[in-house]
Amino acid sequence: MLVLVLFTLVIYLTQQGHGRNIRPPGIAVPPVKPRDSLEGFVEWDKYSMIIRGERVFIFSGEFHPWRLPSPGLWLDIFQKIKALGFNAVSFYTYWGLVEGTPGQVRFEGVFALGEFFKAAAEAGIYIIARPGPYINAETALGGFPGWTARIKAPLRGDDPEFVNATELYAATVGKLIADAQITVGGPVIMVQPENEYDTWPGVNDTDFPAQFNKNYMEHVKQQLKKAGNVVPQMVNDHLYQGNWAPGSGLGETELYAIDAYPMRYDCAHPDIWPTIRWPENWHIKHEQYSPNTPFFVAEFQGGAGTGFGGVNQDSCNELVNQESVRVLWKNNYGFAIKIFNVYMTYGGTNWGNLGYRGGDSSYDYGAAIKENRHVWREKYSEEKLEANFFKVSPAYLTATAGNGTKGAYTSTDLLVTTPVRGTDHPTKFYIMRQDDWTSTDTVTYAFTAPTSAGNISIPQLGGELVLTRRDSKIHVTDYDVGGINLLYCTAEIFTWARDASGKRTLVLYGGAGEVHEFAIDLTNASTTAAYASLHYGGAKVKMVKSNQLVVQWTVSPERRIFRLGDKLEVLLLWRNDAYNYWVTELPAKAPISNYSSPSKSVVVVKGPYLVRTADLDGETLRLTGDINRTTDIELVYEPTGKVNAVSFNGEPLDAKRNKDGKLGALLTFSPPDFALPDFSALEWKYIDSLPEIQASYDDSAWVSCENPTTNNPQALLTPTSLYASDYGFHSGSLIYRGHFTASGEESDLFLNVTGGNGFGYSAWLDDEWLGSWDGAGTGGGSHTHSRTFSLAGRALGAGSRRVLTVLIDHMGQDEEAPGTDAIKAPLGVVNYGLAGRAQADVAWKLTGNLGGEAYRDLARGPRNEGALFAERQGYHQPAPPSQAWLPASPIRDGIAAAGVAFYTTTFELDVPAGYDVPLSFVFANSTAGANYRCQLFVNGWQFGKFVANLGPQTNFPVPEGILNHNGVNTVAVTLWSLDEGGARLDGLSLEPEMPLWSGYRKPWLSPQPTWQERYGTY
């Protein structure tokens, strides 16, 4: 089917001369210079992007498919982003996950891109591809493979050693992206070489040879072009200095963008908004750096991340909440932004050790779509209101930014007003905000608006306008509603549409208790005030002068409807009621199909939790979506005027006309009934996962730490390198064994260990526990820790062979460099000393995941496993050889001493068809002061790292596709006690999140290879 669609699309474009020139009505568009083979596909000028001949506001959400390793759910995320009113998704590819073995690039299984592009096309989402090679993204090593940490050449430079290391990846990913470009029928409209390259230390360092970094940037650009990419290349300049902008010289890109995170990352104090980094004067800088391209923000803060010892993700949503969306996003519109990407819109999970040292297992990010895929955040609804407004405001697409001023348009200088003026249309957009953008005060004001009818002081019918606490408004003047001139409007516009009969439906909203007013110019409206009517009262309607019909009302939860004959219907809503409205596009003929377009028809529906798709079949409207409760559904607008029947998720509804003449029905929700496992009652099997401290353990197959030198920029403090990356171990836990022959005089052991924020470690002399470092979180802990362990009383007999064992929790490498190439900072044992002995008297061996860079589990990738015995054996996978293992439970029994226990069990699920029920594994944590760590494996996938003494995360969502909702599942837990007295789990449960009767497409299972005996285990 996909091949047929692509073939049809190619034929269509050939017949159409590479696309139609469709323009929004009323807009005279300046001529646009075509870009080679992109003509008719992707073009741009200084105002905005033009896709297939139509000007569009590119509203994009960041979504990383590898953070949701269930490809069958990618369509679900795309549909939820499309339901926001967005039309694009930006995504990174993660080099480190696909080339864990040097020279072998594996875009396979959950790492393949074909299904991602296919799902985007089905949902109608354009793609901005960002393949790196560096991505940052709170990933270990910023997305580089672990093995790049040991090459001598500086990363992200033009040294041949590094450049050559990127070639295979760049060629492979470049070809995959090229094959999905819009020019060949795919969704990709833009590509980004490199990422935030201006922030890397050394970019402007005069110590580097001339053209050092420009040569590299140019090379990355050419890699993508050589692979066949013809869509425009863009850059995101984090410093906003014009780096790599068009006309800047070697390395310049075609589209210049910036990124910004003005709310910063203090999720622990979400009510405190920072007073630094407020976006201002951006339009002036844009005119300076890139005047011939649209204003483009490639990353704007959509949330924030968390780390061990911090606060949970909901606190990050509280920091970057719906108020920040209203204030900061609308401030951006004041700069006439035309391409806008929100980082993140869906975050996902740092499963399988893919995150950097400062993060925990969750990458929910406080984003509009939660980690469990729910949209139940007010921020999601606020974003939906704003994005939909710009889909019906074509005058904005060629508008230019003005300067924000205090008191110029309002009766108080407590407010700042920024005008955005249409260049070929009388429409103006006025962005209103408080001068102190962090203020929680309430300010009343009058607004003086220049209009086509002259200056008007608003409100005209008495009273005052109001701006409450952290809020911002978009007031419009001379706004075209399908040929009717909205002379001014202080309420905000959600959407409008015009049906086949010529009737316009306009949806306005405001905050509770606010006074709002709009005026209609009746001069050319083909109707008179005599036909005006207001339903459900509570508003003023008055003619002002001879041609201005003014309507004023105070916002309340009750919906009001104003009608102007059969020409116009205006719905007057409370903002929270507007949240329940959905604007859903109807499919169009190829090549537009499901992609957003100003020329497409829409339906407006009220009621459900989510509306995914809509299609007209004669007189029947077929909807798909989700509900979480019994609710009324109402068809607010449809373009034909003929719909008299509605179905939802394939089920016909008993639809009738309500008192407003709208077709409505009742959607009945029945919660699903299914059983969940009781982990405290299940039969678990147990095996010791730290046999390395036993006298009988043989480590002859381990790597000997014999490298006398290192390429790492951090100089060695030991006779040979103990840096884990030097021996091919880059993720998960690490185990060192130090062999020495005792003299009997050894009094203490010094260790300097590094493992990332929140890491911990334990040390043993033979099978005697010496002690542990139980970690410190992001609030004050370091990623490095030094300690001296006393060996007094250990009876170290002269001449006896002794072994030191050090188990380290590897939390991931850093994501960016505080100094040139400091991202390579080593993890593991950095220094040691055995009192009374030379360092060289200790011979160290090391293990991490089995095989290191020659990792065994290709399906789950190079970072999913660590050094623990059970992981090296593959026992965390389904069907381990547990028949002879002891029956023991992590909840009932636990572990009696410092060490590591491994537990596994199975359970079945049978979630009823048609229901989307996110499920989370939840660790109880009521034991004060308990120092233990767990890894959670679900069907072999490491989906959580629980640190009992640090937190904050106790809830670990696992997506369907990893978790089998209709079959047998294997769950495994590693329990590492850092205390001498051992530990056990306070509790572990599988808990349902809010269930949905859903029109989602049930995902298939991600690869779940079962246990097989591995070659070379030890």
Query: Is residue 677 one of the residues assigned to a domain?
Result: no
Spatial CB neighbours of 659, under 8 Å, sequence gap ≥ 6:
none
Q: Any alpha helices (H) in 202-342, and if so which ranges?
A: 212-226, 282-289, 313-319, 322-324, 330-333
Maximum pairwise Cα distance, the chain: 109
For the cut 70, the answer to whether the pLDDT of residue 974 exceeds it is yes
Quote the percentage of the chain above a pLDDT of 70: 94
Using DSSP's 3-state secondary structure scheme, residue 45 falls into: coil
Question: So what's the pLDDT on residue 777?
Answer: 60
Rounded Cα distance between 313 and 920, Å, is: 15
Q: Provide φ and ψ at 739, rounded to 5°.
A: -95, 135
Query: Is residue 1003 one of the residues assigned to a domain?
Result: no
Rounded Cα distance between 480 and 476, Å, is: 10
Question: So what's the pLDDT on residue 787?
Answer: 96
Q: Provide φ and ψ at 134, rounded to 5°.
A: -90, 135
What is the number of residues in the chain?
A: 1018
Question: Do residues 747 and 873 share a domain?
Answer: no
What is the rounded average pLDDT of the residues 925-940?
89
What is the rounded average pLDDT of the residues 834-850?
97
What is the rounded average pLDDT of the residues 414-431?
96
Higher pLDDT: 524 or 981? It is 981
Rounded Cα distance between 735 and 810, Å, is: 10
For the cut 50, the answer to whether the pLDDT of residue 64 exceeds it is yes
Whether the Cβ atoms of residue 901 and residue 686 lie closer than 8 Å to each other: yes
Question: Do residues 486 and 584 share a domain?
Answer: yes
Rounded Cα distance between 169 and 103, Å, is: 8
Task: Return the structure tokens found at 106.
Answer: 């594996």
Q: Strands 58-63 and 337-346: what pairing?
A: parallel
Rounded to two decimals, the pTM is 0.95
Query: Is residue 228 one of the residues assigned to a domain?
Result: yes
CATH number for the domain that contains residue 352:
3.20.20.80
* Lowest-pLDDT range of 244-248, 513-517, 645-649, 760-764: 244-248
Closest CA to 611 of 624, 598, 592, 596: 624
Whole-number average pLDDT of the chain = 93
What is the rounded average pLDDT of the residues 655-677?
97
Query: Is residue 852 one of the residues assigned to a domain?
Result: no
- Confidence class of residue 50 from pLDDT cuts 50, 70 and 90? very high
Rounded Cα distance between 758 and 950, Å, is: 8
Question: So what's the pLDDT on residue 376?
Answer: 86
Rounded Cα distance between 948 and 928, Å, is: 9
CA distances from 596 to 51, 388, 586 (A): 10, 11, 9
Rounded Cα distance between 966 and 987, Å, is: 24
Rounded Cα distance between 228 and 232, Å, is: 12
For the cut 50, the answer to whether the pLDDT of residue 5 exceeds it is no
Question: Do residues 354 and 430 share a domain?
Answer: no
Query: Is residue 1004 one of the residues assigned to a domain?
Result: no
- Confidence class of residue 276 from pLDDT cuts 50, 70 and 90? confident
Query: Would the CA dihedral through 483, 484, 485, 486 be positive or negative?
Result: negative
Question: Do residues 811 and 901 share a domain?
Answer: no
Rounded Cα distance between 943 and 936, Å, is: 6
Spatial CB neighbours of 5, under 8 Å, sequence gap ≥ 6:
121, 185, 590, 593
CATH number for the domain that contains residue 973:
2.60.120.260
In this structure, the number of other CB atoms found within 10 A of the CB of residue 524 comes to 9
Q: What is the DSSP string of 873-908?
A: HTTTSSS-S-TTSEE--TTTT-BSSSEEEEEEEEEE
- Choose the final residue of a domain: 815, 847, 879: 847
Task: Return the structure tokens found at 616.
Answer: 């007209």
Q: Which domain holds residue 454?
A: 395-667
The angle that helices 114-123 and 74-83 make with each other, rounded to 10 degrees, is 30
For the cut 80, the answer to whether the pLDDT of residue 757 exceeds it is yes
Query: Is residue 383 one of the residues assigned to a domain?
Result: no
Question: Do residues 493 and 545 share a domain?
Answer: yes
Rounded Cα distance between 47 and 126, Å, is: 19
Question: So what's the pLDDT on residue 102?
Answer: 98
What is the rounded average pLDDT of the residues 591-598?
96
Whether the Cβ atoms of residue 874 and residue 880 lie closer than 8 Å to each other: yes
Question: Do residues 343 and 256 share a domain?
Answer: yes
- Choose the final residue of a domain: 345, 376, 407: 376
Question: Do residues 405 and 344 share a domain?
Answer: no
Spatial CB neighbours of 669, under 8 Å, sequence gap ≥ 6:
627, 628, 629, 630, 631, 997
Rounded Cα distance between 229 and 191, Å, is: 8
Rounded Cα distance between 144 and 294, Å, is: 31
Rounded Cα distance between 231 and 88, Å, is: 15
* Lowest-pLDDT range of 108-117, 405-414, 777-786, 927-936: 777-786
Task: Return the structure tokens found at 370.
Answer: 């939660």
Closest CA to 222 of 167, 263, 278, 262: 167
For the segment 800-810, what is each residue's pLDDT rounded down to a tens digit? 999 999 999 99
Question: Do residues 717 and 654 share a domain?
Answer: no
Query: Is residue 202 one of the residues assigned to a domain?
Result: yes
Question: Do residues 586 and 709 share a domain?
Answer: no
Using DSSP's 3-state secondary structure scheme, residue 933 falls into: strand
Question: Do residues 359 and 403 share a domain?
Answer: no
Question: So what's the pLDDT on residue 176?
Answer: 98
What is the rounded average pLDDT of the residues 387-402?
98
**What are the residue numbers of the active site?**
196, 299
Question: So what's the pLDDT on residue 22?
Answer: 29
Question: So what's the pLDDT on residue 927?
Answer: 66
Task: Return the structure tokens found at 1006.
Answer: 């991600």
237 sits in which H/E element? strand 234-237
Number of domains in the chain: 4
Question: So what's the pLDDT on residue 817?
Answer: 77
Rounded Cα distance between 808 and 784, Å, is: 11
Rounded Cα distance between 350 and 372, Å, is: 13
What is the rounded average pLDDT of the residues 461-475?
97
Question: Rounded to 5 degrees, what angle do the CA atoms 230, 235, 237 make?
Answer: 175
Spatial CB neighbours of 407, under 8 Å, sequence gap ≥ 6:
413, 415
Question: So what's the pLDDT on residue 10?
Answer: 34
Question: Do residues 347 and 466 share a domain?
Answer: no
What is the rounded average pLDDT of the residues 481-491?
97
What letter does residue 349 receive in the DSSP assignment? Answer: B
Rounded Cα distance between 603 and 381, Å, is: 18
Closest CA to 431 of 299, 327, 511, 510: 327
724: number of CA atoms within 13 Å, CB side? 33
Whether the Cβ atoms of residue 511 and residue 492 lie closer than 8 Å to each other: no
What phi-psi label fits residue 554: left (phi over 0), alpha (psi between -120 and 50 degrees) or beta? Answer: beta
Question: So what's the pLDDT on residue 212?
Answer: 54
Question: So what's the pLDDT on residue 12?
Answer: 30
Question: So what's the pLDDT on residue 36?
Answer: 52
For the cut 50, the answer to whether the pLDDT of residue 17 exceeds it is no
Rounded Cα distance between 622 and 486, Å, is: 33
For the cut 80, the answer to whether the pLDDT of residue 256 exceeds it is yes
Quote the percentage of the chain above a pLDDT of 90: 88
Whether the Cβ atoms of residue 488 and residue 449 lie closer than 8 Å to each other: yes
Q: Provide φ and ψ at 433, rounded to 5°.
A: -150, 170
Report the Cα–Cα distance between both ends of the chain, in Å, rounded.
48
428 sits in which H/E element? strand 428-434
For the cut 50, the answer to whether the pLDDT of residue 8 exceeds it is no
- Confidence class of residue 527 from pLDDT cuts 50, 70 and 90? confident
- Burial category of 669 from C-beta neighbours within 10 Å (exposed 0-12, middle 13-18, buried 19 and up): middle
Using DSSP's 3-state secondary structure scheme, residue 133 falls into: coil
Closest CA to 473 of 323, 581, 335: 323
Question: Do residues 343 and 412 share a domain?
Answer: no
What is the rounded average pLDDT of the residues 247-276?
94
Using DSSP's 3-state secondary structure scheme, residue 480 falls into: strand
Using DSSP's 3-state secondary structure scheme, residue 169 falls into: helix
Query: Is residue 1009 one of the residues assigned to a domain?
Result: no
- Choose the final residue of a domain: 652, 667, 682: 667
457 sits in which H/E element? strand 454-458
For the segment 572-592, what is each residue's pLDDT rounded down to a tens digit? 999 999 999 999 999 999 999
CATH number for the domain that contains residue 528:
2.102.20.10
Ranges of beta strands (E only) in 306-389 are 337-346
Question: So what's the pLDDT on residue 410?
Answer: 97
Question: For residue 193, is the peptide bond before it cis, meaning its omega torsion is within 30 degrees of 0?
Answer: no
Question: So what's the pLDDT on residue 162?
Answer: 96
Residue with token string 């204030």: 327
